[in-house]
Chains A and B, each alone.
Chain A
Amino acid sequence: MSECDEVLARLFLRRPLDAGAAAHLSACPRCSSEQRHVRRVAEALASHDVPPPASTLSARVLGAAAPLLARHARRAAWRTLARALAAALVPLPLIVFLDFYLVRAMYGVLEALLPRALSLYVVFNYAATLTLLLALTYGMIPIVAERQMRLRREESRA
Chain B
Amino acid sequence: MATDEDLIGAVATGDGRALEELCRRYERGLHQFIFRHTGGRDVDDLYQETWLRVVRAARRFDRRRRFSTWLFQIAVNLCRDWHRRRPPEPVDPADIEATREGTAAAADAALDARRLLAALPEPQRSAVILRYYHDLGEEEMAEVLGCPRGTVKSRLHHAMARLTQMARQ
Contact = CB atoms under 8 A, between A and B. Distances in A.
B18 A68 contact: no
B131 interface: yes
A156 B132 contact: no
Name B's interface SS: helix
Contacts of B61: none
A12 B10 CA distance: 40
A61 B47 contact: yes
Given A47-B109, A49-B102, A69-B55, A76 B13 contact: yes
Contact of B109 (A48, A64, A156, A158): A48
A120 interface: no
A157 B160 contact: no
B84 interface: no
Interface string B1-22: 0100011011111111111110
Given A48-B113, A149-B13, A156-B2, A60 B48 contact: yes
B164 A156 contact: no
A130 interface: no
Contacts of A47: 106, 109-110, 112-113
Contacts, number: 146
A57 B116 CA distance: 28
A23 B6 CA distance: 48
Contacts of B109: 43-44, 47-48
B106 A49 contact: yes
A50 B35 contact: yes
B163 A41 contact: yes
Given A37-B167, A58-B23, A153-B10, A50 B31 contact: yes
Interface string A42-75: 0111011111111001101110111011111111
B16 A61 contact: no
B59 A158 contact: no
B14 to A, nearest CB: 3
Given A37-B167, A48-B114, A153-B13, A65 B55 contact: yes
A49 to B, nearest CB: 6
Name A's interface SS: helix
Contact of B153 (A1, A49, A69): A1
A149 B13 CA distance: 9
Nearest to A43: B109
- Which of B96, B109, B153, B160 has the most chain A CB within a 10 Å cutoff? B160
Contacts of A156: 2, 6-7, 9-10, 15, 18
Leading 4 A-B pairs by shortest Cβ distance: A73-B14, A48-B113, A47-B109, A72-B14
Interface of B: 2, 6-7, 9-21, 23-24, 27-28, 31-32, 35-36, 44, 47-48, 51-52, 55-56, 58-59, 96, 99-102, 106, 109-110, 112-114, 116-117, 128, 131-133, 153, 156-157, 160, 163-164, 166-168
